Amino acid sequence: MKFEWSSRKAAFLIVFAVLSLAAYRINFSSVLGASNQSFTLFQFLAPIGGGLFDPFFGAFSALLAQGLNFAIFGGGTDLFSMLRFLPPVFAAVYFGSRNKWTTAVPLACMALFWMHPIGAQAPWYALFWLIPVAAKFAGNNLLLRSMGTTFTAHAVGSVAFLYTVPSIPAFWIFLIPVVFYERLIFTLGIAVSFVALNTLLGLLSTRVDLRSLHIEKRYSLVKAN
């Protein structure tokens, strides 16, 4: 994981974290089976920090935004609530890295799911996590990259839920079609957010020095001169 420090990059990271914090306050859907837990627009924005900065800074920005949200607005202190800090962190690492080693996360989650007595009775559910493995080996396509990202977050979050919240095998089987629809929306949300951000930064780069950021101009809708 490459680490490059600069004061300008740190400033951009703080700005991005604040934007992510704002997105954190906009609910998207409820987390089935977990009271007072919701998915927010943060799930769209947080992963792309790994592409905008690098895997390390992207993961840190996701953690920073969640920490700020907790410090300002509060939140649950149960184990599952604490473990929910992890999915966006791993998602940012996956999105920002081209290395195949990131596939170790969903593969490890598959193993942990099948090792659990409840998960072992719903083994098909964990097959979703072959998607980020396949996506990482399929080339640098934004939709596949976004899909792999959201299913990496899904893998980490699902295992955290399985090991901390009581459930039954039927619950996980019921979730299979729900997950398919939900993660398709997240895939599109991440991809659209990344295109929008690259477009904005591409335009700003004509006026502001943004060389410390990784702007992928091929995903910009406006080709700045």
Instruction: Please name each of the domains of the chain with its CATH number.
Output: 7-219 (1.10.1760.20)
Q: How many CB atoms lie within 10 A of CB 82?
A: 14
Q: How many CB atoms lie within 10 A of CB 151?
A: 27
Q: How many CB atoms lie within 10 A of CB 59?
A: 27
Written as tens digits, the pLDDT of the chain (225 aa) is 444 556 666 777 778 888 887 877 777 665 554 445 566 778 888 899 888 888 888 898 888 888 888 888 777 778 888 898 999 999 999 999 988 999 999 999 999 999 999 999 999 999 999 999 999 998 789 999 999 999 999 999 999 999 999 999 999 999 999 899 889 989 999 999 999 988 988 888 788 777 778 888 888 887 655
Distance from CA of residue 133 to its chain's centroid? 15
At residue 223, φ and ψ (nearest 5 deg) are -90, 100
Task: List C-alpha distances in Å: 21 to 41, 45, 73, 177.
Answer: 10, 10, 11, 30
